Structure 1
Amino acid sequence: MSLFNQPLLSIICHTFNQEKYLEETIKGFLLQKTNFPFEIIIHDDASTDRTSDIIKKYQDLYPNQIKAILQTENKYSQNVNIWSEFTFPAAKGKYIAICEGDDYWTDENKLQKQVDFLEQNSEFVVCWTDYLNYNGTNFTENDFKITDTIFKIDYNNLFHPYCTLTLTTVFKKEAMDIKLLSSLTHFKDNSLYMILLRKGFGAFMNEKTAVYRIHVGGVYSMKSLFFQRYSSYLNVKEMYDAIPESKTKNIAQNIESLLRHAAFDALRIKYATNDKLTSEEETALKLFFPTAKTSVKFKYYKRILEYSLKKAFKK
């Protein structure tokens, strides 16, 4: 592939302490066979291992294709939106592909297939593919129950099934609203998808092109179950409030479900452990239960009784 000043696609890779996995990720990028030029932008969030050294090594090997953005202090901990502040503005391509530094691509034609689809179907602005899950020992397939070769996604079915993972994402840069993205308080990858769907449809391409790593070193996986659910609730609720087109029954049900599960997690923490609730855990309880259905409130009081009895028997 010959390189030109203007790549058609920009690969964006965010890394943090991923020295064990990053070389496989980068090799998956470099093995892509395309009839268009692409660039690789790798952002390291002040890793404390050899991640930045690996990035520098590959930047030296491919100086015309790989661009490194190396932070000296961690931006994630400062709640900085790395996409809107650093990587998206640096991207020169018409299309943007995303893959985190601990995941990797297995299909050398992945980018070509996705770009071809978006080029040929103007009503679509973003697409994803299937992938394998790898826990360090075994590979497992997803059970999305999708039989269509191309599954159309909009606000009426987004997250059902949850097949829109970051590692396979390719989207049209012109569909992204950087100003809106940068204004968000609770941004996540879901924020990106909900913004993009204002401009067109999403497509799930029913073929496996990548591997998603499940490991304890993942920044998000290290968080508590309550944090994962409550942060997702705040994220989707923020997007629901910001984007009128997203006010569908499907998105509203997702918001309710995320808050319900977060509230029950907080309930468990309050009555089954001796831990004092955080302000967010208290807020989740106050937000959900006063307006919950009678059947849910019954489950609420039943759980309290169960937790109290278990505590009494332990004494």
Structure 2
Amino acid sequence: MRDQNTIISGWINNDTKPFVSILCDTFNHEGFIRETLEGFLKQETTFPFEIIVHDDASTDNTPAIVREFAENYPLIIKPILQKENQYSKKVNFWSDLTFPMAQGKYIALCEGDDYWIDKLKLQKQVDFLENNKEYVITWTDYLNRKGTELVPNNFKETLPSVYTIDFDTIFQPYCTLTLTSVFKKDAVDPLDYKKFKYGKDNTLYALALCHGKGAFLNFQAAVYRLHAGGVFSLKSTFFQRYSSYLNVKEIYDNIPQARTKNIEKVMASLLKASAFEALKLRKTEEFKNIEEPQKAINEFLDKASLSLKFKYFLKYIKS
């Protein structure tokens, strides 16, 4: 690992602000956060960057690890260590906490249980954005980690070296995961983001795409970790599908540029998946205690073709 303190010290002494701000949210990631932070620090760049780490009152050793790194790299790592959990208060870490602190022209995102494996990740993405002014956001390929197994995607074979992403292509075939994203800070207003009730990373991307194109850069730069402690992965499959549907529908309803055939197709697919997952819950306490599964079913049946309704009722009879 390079002596980033010495490098950043030179930049700061020259009154140079960070060119990129890396925003990292973490909670109970003591087994992962060290690898995450090391991946940031290994980045080789021609520009200064800062690392803003927000710990949401973890109950394990995560805050101590973040504090240790901040003490060792005080010019680079800027910790926010909460005493009370903000997620439970429905505070949005990104728009309310870390984004306002960011000084960079560009923002990079990565949560505390994922990590980067390409030491030139930031340099490659920033160089692309600097040299292609019509683009405002980039993503890269990644590996999926299940335990110790690293599972690749097939993007290397199926997509070009640069694949343009806009409202006609987003989500199909590439899944725009947060840990690979780098975007222009001025392409997204956090106040706009806060207007969305079902806001997710997709909302951020949609807001950015209103100001320019996105690009998938076809190189493996990061690892997405699948584990039981992930906040989203702990939710039921129904919740995952339906919350994604509500998120994409809200984007479609509120951003005129998003009203494309592609987004309509994505919405229909998510709603169908939500309804069929809700059917699996029909005899469970979850179905009885919350109204969302029945809402998903009703909306699906209201919009579905006769053939889809027939398939649904066959499943209903068998369940």
1:275 deviation in Å? Answer: 5.3
For residues 30-87 of structure 1, the C-alpha deviation after alignment (integer angstroms, 9 at most, x for no partner) is 1111110000000111111011111111111111111111222222222222111001
Q: Do structure 1's residue 95 and structure 2's residue 106 form an aligned pair?
A: yes
1:274 deviation in Å? Answer: 6.4
Q: Which residue among 248, 253, 273 is the counterpart of 1:241?
A: 253
Contact 1:263 1:284 in 2 (8 A): yes
Describe the SS at the equivalent of 1:211: strand
Q: Do structure 1's residue 221 and structure 2's residue 233 form an aligned pair?
A: yes
Cα 1:163–1:61 shift into 2, 3 Å = same
Q: Which runs of 5+ in 1 are unaligned?
A: 308-315
Q: Which runs of 5+ in 2 are unaligned?
A: 1-6
Who is 1:182 aligned against? 194
| Aligned length, in residue pairs | 306
**Between the two proteins, what is the percent identity of the paired residues?**
53
Q: Which residue among 252, 258, 269 is the counterpart of 1:257?
A: 269
Contact 2:278 2:287 in 1 (8 A): no
Q: Do structure 1's residue 290 and structure 2's residue 298 form an aligned pair?
A: no
TM-score, scaled to structure 2: 0.93
Who is 1:3 aligned against? 11
1:290 deviation in Å? Answer: 2.3
CA distance in 1 between partners of 2:262 and 2:279 (Å): 26
Cα 1:156–1:276 shift into 2, 3 Å = closer
Q: Do structure 1's residue 137 and structure 2's residue 164 form an aligned pair?
A: no
Bigger CA drift: 35-44 or 55-64? 55-64
Contact 1:3 1:64 in 2 (8 A): no
The correspondence of residues 171-210 of structure 1 with structure 2, limited to 5 A, is 171-210=183-222
Q: Which residue among 144, 167, 173 is the counterpart of 2:179?
A: 167
The correspondence of residues 16-27 of structure 1 with structure 2, limited to 5 A, is 16-27=27-38
1:268 deviation in Å? Answer: 1.8
Describe the SS at the equivalent of 1:3: helix
TM-score, scaled to structure 1: 0.94
One-letter amino acid of the counterpart of residue 281, structure 2: I
One-letter amino acid of the counterpart of residue 134, structure 1: R
CA distance in 1 between partners of 2:221 and 2:285 (Å): 45
CA distance in 1 between partners of 2:120 and 2:259 (Å): 36
Cα 1:233–1:44 shift into 2, 3 Å = same
Cα 1:39–1:275 shift into 2, 3 Å = closer
CA distance in 1 between partners of 2:79 and 2:286 (Å): 42
One-letter amino acid of the counterpart of residue 146, structure 2: N
1:205 deviation in Å? Answer: 0.5
